[in-house]
Amino acid sequence: MNVRREPGLVGFTLHVLALAMGRVYMAGAHRLRVAGREWLPSTPPLVLVANHASHLDAVALASVLPWRLATRSYPLAAGDVFFDRLGRSILAAFLVNALPVWRRRPKPADFAELRARLTEEPCALILFPEGSRARDGRMQPFKAGVGMLVAGTSVPVLPCFIEGAFAALPPGRRWPKPSPVRVRIGEPLLFATFDNDKAGWIATAGRLESAVRALAGGATEDPP
């Protein structure tokens, strides 16, 4: 499973069905509400970054995107978690439409490929720069990988804050509890002037982290 995977008719149909079911589920079980939808561009490319404390995060974000963006969106999922075994790989690829990110065996060529896909396809990428779900619900520092993707490009990056997902499905729990989830979308940021090197990536990650923390201001879970 690699980042060059492009879904065919069957994959597309399954993804659309999964998106539809996800929307119904989030609206029904979690009364999903979104603020800041006006910040979303009407067409790709774009990148969404958010805090990560629950498996519901990707579903919530995909559910708040308008259909035209949602069908062209790819969450980036940890390769060692979601693409290690064949069955899970198939689910992650066909239902979630995820692309792998290899955390312990990073492949620099993958990021170059993802950057190209963003602008050429064009598509929307969803990623969680914390790298893994926060075990205690508190936001962890953002890793530099997000910079490898967007530093030096003019792709808008929208910070998002997901509230309530940790309470509904924290890491370790098997089934989610029906409780409200809210998504806040912030103003898009551009990183065209940031350097595409290690310093630039760290700066990018830092900028995005403070943007997401600012969005969190006033939430019950994460102190800003």
Which residues lie near another protein (CB under 8 A)? Answer: 6, 8-9, 12
Describe the strand order of the beta sheet including 33-35 as a list of residue ranges: 33-35, 182-185, 157-163, 46-50, 124-127, 73-78, 99-101
Distance of closest approach, residue 95 Cβ to another protein, in angstroms = 18
- CB of 9 or CB of 86, closer to another protein: 9
Q: Which DSSP symbol is given to 142?
A: P
Q: Strand 124-127 vs strand 182-185: parallel, antiparallel, or unpaired? A: unpaired
Distance of closest approach, residue 190 Cβ to another protein, in angstroms = 27
- CB of 38 or CB of 120, closer to another protein: 120
3-state helix, strand, coil in the chain (%, to 5): 40, 15, 45
- CB of 70 or CB of 168, closer to another protein: 70
Distance of closest approach, residue 12 Cβ to another protein, in angstroms = 6
Interhelix angle 9-30/56-64, rounded to 10 degrees, is: 100
- CB of 19 or CB of 60, closer to another protein: 19
Sign of the Cα torsion 222, 210, 106, 78 reads positive
Distance of closest approach, residue 52 Cβ to another protein, in angstroms = 31
> Are 207 and 151 contacting, i.e. CB atoms less than 8 angstroms apart?
no
- CB of 12 or CB of 102, closer to another protein: 12
Distance of closest approach, residue 9 Cβ to another protein, in angstroms = 6
